[in-house]
Amino acid sequence: MTTDAAPANPVANATPRAVLDTRGVSKTFGVVRALRDVSLTLRAGEVHGLVGENGAGKSTLIKVLTGFHQPDAGTLALDGASVAFDSPRAAQRAGVCAVYQEINLIPERSVADNIFLCHEPKRFGILTDRKQMLERTAQIVQRYRLAVDPAAKLGTLGLGAQQMVAIARGVSLGARVLILDEPTSALSGAEVDVLFDVVDALRAEGIALLFVSHRLSECYRLCDRFTVMRDGAVVRTGTPQELPRAALIAAMLGRESAGEHAWTDRSGKADAGASTTPALEVDGLQWGNRVRDVTMRVAPREIVGLAGLLGSGRTETFKTIFGAQKPDAGDVRLAGRALTHATPARSIGRGLAFLSEDRRAEGIFPRLSVRENIVASLLPRISRFGFISRAKEAQVVREAIARLGIKTAGPGALITTLSGGNQQKALIARCLSTQPDVLLLDDPTRGIDVGAKEEVHRVVQQLAQEGLAVVVTSSEMEELLALTDRLVMLNEGATHCGMPTAGAHPDDVLAVLAGQVADAGA
């Protein structure tokens, strides 16, 4: 049995001063009340965790705090003085800055250029003082012990380093309040450790931090206090001791939960391995130096996890199987028939569907509606002579929304108005609309909350019971063990062995993966 330890906070024994206060903040969009009487206090030298399901109101609150939205009611106070931010620029000038999971910086400019973008030090009031800018950037980099060259082009850095640059930009703006919105979603373990060190340093400097993450282990590692939101309102506030993990999840969901990773009994399903013809067969698949030798078999009604460390080639393997990347060698067979000259369109036609891990760049069409996103892969089947059958389209969308429990104002609403979890369910609905036999899910719960994870798990397990073969990856080993029947181990683009998940522990899997890495190094 484990307990959630509180972070080491130098000001834990005293009540720090309030830096940013919200009182009774409300915000409505049309008929949707996004925020209802929200009160929140961020204190100097404290990391405050903001948690809740997708759609709970977290993003709207952050946009109010940073001046992107103005509240319909309520007040904001900064260091005790009433403030009203009419733009993100105004909030930044006052010292309230946000760093988002999607890094909105300029990859073709240098680290120093990005850190001092729009507030460059000047010579004679008009010329950018590049020497001073590089020196000040070097000071910030050294202060937080970041392995970053101030003159390096941002696009040449890894995601973790780019995330640190975004945080350094907030520091350069003189942030008194720094909001970190899902900052670890695309980082490796080592990069997450560096981020945590930076957060600890910022806390020691007296900066008030608002930390948003769906990874509760990170929240309990960093946060001094939590605010739990549900349906646009604050439902609980407390310290990690006052809100242990089970109580926090129950507050988020408004119901008792099986936990972050619900273990579901799948013993009642048919023996998938007894199937004479696998739904998916992959033999000796190769693509460049990222997919070197992938072999696996997946039967109908089976959920197989593709387990590997960061950089093992999980995403590249899926894209090569699906035909988004042309393989250099190897064979893919669906229900015993070879999938030759694979392209995404041909794969879909043969009953193969793929959900990308990158919802923003490779998933949703942000300018289209929920309806248009769901039927995007289905248009050839519901069209005749170039005209879409609106009746068939409406039926598909109506059934998809009901089956997956997609929360939306209506099929015509923009996909971007949905929470991250509901966007993900809409993308799963798109995959299912083609009636596949094999489903490839690349980290399907990345960036979504505990409740949405449970719903996605339920849908995936139901699909397997209905006869689909599912291959899934996850950045969280506990989730992979909870969801799958067995694992196929992937190391540096090659599959080595498999293991059943019944009774397995994450340490067992990591030991196997670590052993593979050691063997490869030897």
Among the three residues 253, 286, 312, which one is the final residue of a domain in this structure? 253
In a domain, 315, yes or no: yes
H-run or E-run covering 162? helix 159-172
Residue 119 lies in a domain: no
Q: How high is the pLDDT of residue 13?
A: 54
The answer as to whether 11 is a domain residue is no
pLDDT higher than threshold 80 for residue 94: yes
Please name which of 222, 439, 475, 246 lies closest in space to residue 334, comparing C-alpha atoms. 439
Could you tell me if 183 and 213 are in contact, meaning their C-beta atoms sit under 8 angstroms apart?
Answer: yes
Residues 6+ apart with CB under 8 A from 57: 34, 35, 36, 38, 229, 231, 232, 233
Other Cβ atoms within 10 Å of 5 Cβ, number: 10
Structure tokens that stand for 440 in this block: 């490839």
Task: List the Cα angle 445/167/147 in 5-degree steps.
Answer: 100
Higher pLDDT, residue 123 or 317: 317
Tell me: the pLDDT tens digits for 410-459?
999 999 988 877 888 899 889 988 889 999 999 888 767 777 778 888 88
Segment 352-364 mean pLDDT: 85
Residue 288 has which token pair?
Answer: 């460049």
- Classify residue 317: in a domain, yes or no: yes
Same domain flag for 212 and 277: no
Per-residue pLDDT for 471 more than 80? yes
47 contacts 70 by C-beta, under 8 angstroms: no
Has residue 217 been placed in a domain? yes
Residue 503 pLDDT grade (very low, low, confident, very high; cuts 50, 70, 90):
confident
pLDDT of residue 188: 63
Rg (CA), the chain: 24
| Domain closes at, from 253, 281, 312 | 253
pTM flag (> 0.75):
no
Both 420 and 363 in a single domain?
Answer: yes
Give the largest Cα separation in the chain, rounded.
79
pLDDT for 279 beyond 50: yes
Q: Quick one: 84 exposed, middle or buried, by C-beta within 10 A (0-12, 13-18, 19+)?
A: exposed
Contact between 63 and 91 (Cβ < 8 Å): no
Number of folded domains that form the chain: 2
Higher-confidence residue of 29 and 81: namely 81
Query: Contact 152/115 with Cβ under 8 angstroms?
Result: no
pLDDT at 31 over 70: yes
The pLDDT tens digits of the residues spanning 54-63 come to: 678 898 999 9
d(CA 112, CA 165): 9
**3-state secondary structure (DSSP) of residue 354:** strand
Quick: pLDDT tens for 33-49: 899 999 999 999 999 99
Range of the domain at 229: 19-103+158-253
Separation CA 383–CA 390 (nearest Å): 9
Total residues found in the chain within this entry: 522
pLDDT band at 3 (very low <50, low <70, confident <90, very high): very low
Among 99-103, 131-135, 161-165, 366-370, name the one with the lowest average pLDDT.
Answer: 99-103
Same domain as 213, residue 180: yes
Please report the pLDDT score of residue 270 as a whole number. 42
DSSP one-letter string for 432-494: HHT--SEEEEESTTTT--HHHHHHHHHHHHHHHHTT-EEEEE-S-HHHHHHH-SEEEEEETTE
Tokens, residue 418: 């949905």
53 and 165 together in one domain: yes
Q: Are residues 346 and 231 in the same domain?
A: no
Q: What is the mean pLDDT of residues 207-228?
A: 90
Report if residue 178 sits inside a domain. yes
Residue 262: predicted pLDDT: 44
> pLDDT-derived band of residue 260, with 50, 70 and 90 as boundaries?
very low
Model confidence pLDDT, tens digit, residues 366-399: 899 999 999 888 877 778 877 888 888 888 899 8
453/342 same-domain check: yes
**326 shares a domain with 279:** yes
Q: Both 327 and 419 in a single domain?
A: yes
Backbone angles phi, psi at 115, to 5 degrees: -65, -40
Inside any domain, residue 116:
no
Say if residue 110's pLDDT is above 70.
yes
110 occurs within a structural domain: no
Beta carbons within 8 Å of 151's beta carbon, 6+ residues apart? 110, 111, 112, 134
**In a shared domain, residues 504 and 402:** yes
Strand partners, 180: 99, 211
Over 70: is that where the pLDDT of 4 sits?
A: no
Kindly list the distances between the CA atom of residue 235 and the CA atoms of 57, 347, 421, 454, 470, in Å, as whole numbers in the listed order.
12, 46, 20, 21, 37
pLDDT above 70 covers what percent of the chain? 89
Q: Residue 54 sits in a domain of what CATH number?
A: 3.40.50.300
Give the separation between CA 50 and CA 29, rounded to whole angstroms.
22
CA distance 113 to 196: 25
C-beta neighbour count of 522 within 10 angstroms: 5
> Quick one: which of 216, 264, 253 has its CA closest to 4?
216
Q: Specify the pLDDT at position 106.
A: 85
Q: Which two tokens stand for residue 433?
A: 């609309």
Are both 38 and 98 inside the same structural domain?
yes
More confident residue, 227 or 385: 227
Q: DSSP H helical segments within 243-357, as ranges?
A: 245-253, 314-322, 344-349
Predicted confidence at residue 186, as pLDDT, reads 63
Q: Do 421 and 464 fall into the same domain?
A: yes
Give the residue among 297, 304, 267, 340 at the shortest CA–CA distance from 441.
304
Cβ 17 vs Cβ 43: under 8 Å:
yes
Cα–Cα distance measured from residue 319 to residue 230, given in angstroms and rounded to the nearest whole number: 36
Q: How far apart are CA 164 and CA 140, in angstroms?
A: 11
Closest CA to 307 of 108, 508, 448: 508
* Count of CA atoms in the C-beta half-sphere (13 A) of 219: 29
What is the average pLDDT score of the chain? 84
Query: Exposed/middle/buried for 274, CB within 10 Å: 0-12, 13-18, 19+?
Result: exposed
Let me know whether 173 and 55 are in one domain: yes
- Work out the pLDDT band at 183, boundaries 50, 70, 90: confident
